[in-house]
Structure 1
Amino acid sequence: MSRLIRFSVGMVLLLAVMVSCKDTAFKVYEGRIFDASMNDIVIITGTGDTVTVSTMNADPAKVPGVFINDSVRVTCSDRKVGEDKILTADSLVILVRSPYYCIQGTWLEPNPIDTAQMQGFVLKQDGTAESVNMATLDFRSWTLKGHMLILQYTSIGNKLTIEGSDTLHIVKINADSLVLSANNRMVWDLVRKK
């Protein structure tokens, strides 16, 4: 008799687990990052579908930050928020890094005044930047927005200090080369410091 009771209790518990799991159906999407913000990512799947996934309140250890054009696999589920269901990331794996991942590092070009000297900037992982061999232009920080690199700087000279930013189009980027333009003309033709 006690075996029958244990069996019945076990079946009831198993059924309860099965019913509760039914509401948490996971969805897996693979594709490339089309857009990303602090709270969501937009993925273009291999079939051309556009999927927006919330990353709000996601565990950063399971859902790391991404760059535009990273190839990813995202496991997500629907979460109820008020009356709406929001597709929310549970985990994210970066399959192939975007070329924009390569943008971090030290980028140099010959100084036009003294070609024996190199000048340029360092783009650090934390979003800060610093100038290399440029006494009057002090780079402070950087961000990416689509195919644009935005550099925040302080210009120092002639008894005047000016805070500003340069918005530069990324013409070319790979592991060794970075070409930037503004107003359809090349501004920087840089190589990575090894």
Structure 2
Amino acid sequence: MQLKLLLISCIASALVIACSETVSLEGRWVEPIPGMENKIQGIELAKGGQASSINMATLQYEKWDQQGNKLILSGKSIGNGQSGDFTDILTIEKVTDNELVLKKGNLNITYHRQQ
């Protein structure tokens, strides 16, 4: 009986993996700027791990990498005449062709793919 349940579980897992479609993170991902909903900000994830900021002068993304359900963004933070390197590790909560939900601590950020 236990062997039968294990076999059914393995088959179900294999079907889920085989049927799931991998969605590319590459592209332009934007969200409304809080308090200025008619303007957008976000990130562009390009081929080869290159990244850039969209309408964020003080946060300049340079590189990105995906490791499992983690999105690793790095670049330079610029403010008050000083700049410093940073690396953010965000959890990918959801990704579809048109939506990317990232989590950092208690903060959820929902981006939409810009065409």
TM superposition score category, shorter chain reference = 0.7 to 0.9
TM-score, normalised to structure 2's length?
A: 0.80
Equivalent residue in structure 2 for 1:137, among 50, 59, 72 = 59
> Unaligned 5+ residue runs, structure 1?
1-44, 50-68, 72-94
Superposition RMSD in Å: 2.2
Shift of 1:47: 8.9
What is the 5 A alignment of 1:76-115? 97-99=21-23, 102-115=24-37
Greater helix fraction, Structure 1 or Structure 2: 2
Task: Indicate how the Cα distance of structure 1 residues 48 and 111 shifts in structure 2: closer, same or farther if over 3 A, else same.
Answer: closer
- 2:103 is the counterpart of 1:173: no
Shift of 1:115: 1.5
Shift of 1:184: 3.8
Structure 1 segments, 4+ long, off by >6 Å, are none
> Unaligned 5+ residue runs, structure 2?
1-9
What is the 5 A alignment of 1:118-137? 118-137=40-59
User: Could you tell me how far apart the structure 1 residues matched to 2:20 and 2:47 are?
Assistant: 18
Among all aligned residue pairs of Structure 1 and Structure 2, give the percentage whose two residues are the same amino acid. 33
What letter is aligned with 1:108?
A: V
Of structures 1 and 2, the one with the larger relative CO (CA 8 A, separation 6+) is: 2
What letter is aligned with 1:133?
A: N
SS of residue paired to 1:169: strand
TM-score, normalised to structure 1's length?
A: 0.49
List per-residue Cα deviations over 1:70-102 (Å, max 9, x = no partner).
x5xxxxxxxxxxxxxxxxxxxxxxx97513xx2
